[in-house]
Amino acid sequence: MRMGEFSRRTGVSQRLLRYYEEQGLLKPSRRPSGYREFTEEDIATVRGIRMLLGAGLNTATIAELMPCMVDDGQTLAPACSGMLPDLNRERERINEAVAGLLAARDTLDAVIAATAPTGGDDPEACSAAGAAKRPGDATAVPLGIRSDQRRIRRRRP
C-alpha cells in the first residue's frame, strides 16, 4: 500500500511516517517510480513504535530495540532477555524524571501553602503587594513589569 493509505490505516501523519523512516524505524520498499510501498507488517511496526514512544522511549532507543521485539497484536515483548538491561535503564531514566517532577510539584505546593490569603479578589491589592523598589528607583514598579521590560531590552540589538 502507498503512503496515503498507510497513513490512514495507522492514524499517523505522512510527515511522521517519513521521520520514522529517516530514523531507521520503518524500511518500506520502493517502487521503480520511487513511491514507498508499505506492508501489513509495517502497520504492526508503527503500532510498536507508537507504543514505545508512549512508554517514554526516544526514537534512537526504539531503533535499537525494535529488531528484537515481538508484537503479539496487543503488546510488544522482548524476543530475548538480553534486552532487559536496556529496558531497565530506560525505566530508571523515566523514574528519575518522575522524581524530578514530583519534587517540583512539592516545591510549588509549599509556595502555594505559604501564600497568605489576601482576604479578597482585589487585583489592585495583589499589584500593590507585588510592587518592588530597586535602589535608586523613585517609584515602586510591579515585579512583572520589570521582568517584561528586561525581556524587551534583551530582544533589541
How high is the pLDDT of residue 98? 95
In three-state secondary structure terms, 26 is coil
Lowest mean pLDDT among 15-24, 59-68, 148-157: 148-157
pLDDT at residue 127, rounded to an integer? 65
pLDDT of residue 77: 78
Share of the chain above pLDDT 90, in %: 46
Instruction: Kindly state the percentage of the chain with pLDDT values over 70.
Output: 75
Asked if the model's pLDDT at residue 95 lies above 90, the reply is yes
Mean pLDDT of 126-132: 59
Average pLDDT for the chain:
81
State the pLDDT at residue 122: 64
Please give the domain boundaries of the chain with CATH numbers for all domains: 3-79 (1.10.1660.10), 122-155 (no CATH)
Greatest extent of the chain over all pairs of C-alpha atoms, in Å: 76
DSSP of 100-140, one letter per residue?
Answer: HHHHHHHHHHHHHHHSPP-SS--HHHHHHHTEE--TT-SS-
Mean pLDDT to the nearest integer, 1-25: 95
pLDDT (average), residues 5-16: 95
Higher pLDDT, 2 or 132: 2
**Residue 75, pLDDT score:** 76
* Bridge partners, residue 71, by sequence: 76
Q: Model's pTM, two decimal places?
A: 0.62
Tell how strand 76-78 and strand 69-71 pair up: antiparallel
pLDDT at 121: 63
Average pLDDT over residues 16-32: 94
